[in-house]
Structure 1
Amino acid sequence: MKVSDLDVPELLDVITKAISPVIFKGIDQDSSPHLWRERMKLHAEIVGRITAVLHCGDEVGPDIGEIIEICTRNMRAGYEQSFSEVLGPGGSLSKIRKP
């Protein structure tokens, strides 16, 4: 079996779920939006790099740096959109909490 034989979206789904508990460890609904965004950017960076390598298939070439940049930029944009719904006005993590 080779990398090109794998279902890349399925593999990325598993990898994303596996690394999330490590990256978001120690933060919860009471954590500041800044901390959530910081971790989200780190998660996007890691998943973007992995995505780039997997999309290269069986051989990673010299253009990997450019592919990593594209993939991480796309991941960050997607994550920022998703997180803005949660952290933005009216989002579940942006509600004012009573003591």
Structure 2
Amino acid sequence: MKISDLDLSEMIDAIGLAVAPLIFKGIENDTPAHILRERARVNAEVMGRFAAVLYCGDKVGIEVVDLIAHFTAYMQVEHQHSMKRVLGPEGDMSRLR
């Protein structure tokens, strides 16, 4: 079996589930929104790097540098959308109170 034989999407999901508890460790109900956003940014950076390396397949070359920038930017946008659904004025956390 080679890396290219694996399902990239499934692998990224599994890595995300393993990494998120470490990045978001210590987050409580009263944690300020800016801290949550900061942690989400770091999570996007970490996940973008994982995705870039995995996307290279069986051999990681210099193209990984551009891929890291691409995947990190993509993850940042996705995490921002998630944060807006939770933390914005109409977000889930705002409606709880």
TM interval, shorter chain, is over 0.9
Q: Does the 8 Å CA contact 1:49/1:68 hold for their aligned counterparts?
A: yes
Indicate conservation of the 8 Å contact 1:87/1:93, yes or no. yes
Structure 1 or 2: larger helix share?
A: 2
Moved over 4 A (4+): none
Q: CA deviation at 1:91?
A: 1.5
* Change in 2 beyond 3 A, CA 1:12/1:96: closer
Identity %, equivalent residues: 45
The residue number in structure 1 matching 2:47 is 47
What is the 5 A alignment of 1:1-99?
1-94=1-94
Q: 1:30, CA displacement in angstroms?
A: 1.3
Q: CA deviation at 1:90?
A: 2.3
Residue-pair matches, total: 97
2:21 and 2:36 mapped to 1: Cα distance?
Answer: 13
Give secondary structure in 2 for the equivalent of 1:93. Answer: helix
Instruction: Say which is worse superposed, 26-35 or 88-97, in terms of deviation.
Output: 88-97
TM-score, with structure 2 as normaliser: 0.93
Mapped to 2, the partners of 1:81 and 1:57 lie a distance apart of: 28
Gaps of 5+ in 2: none
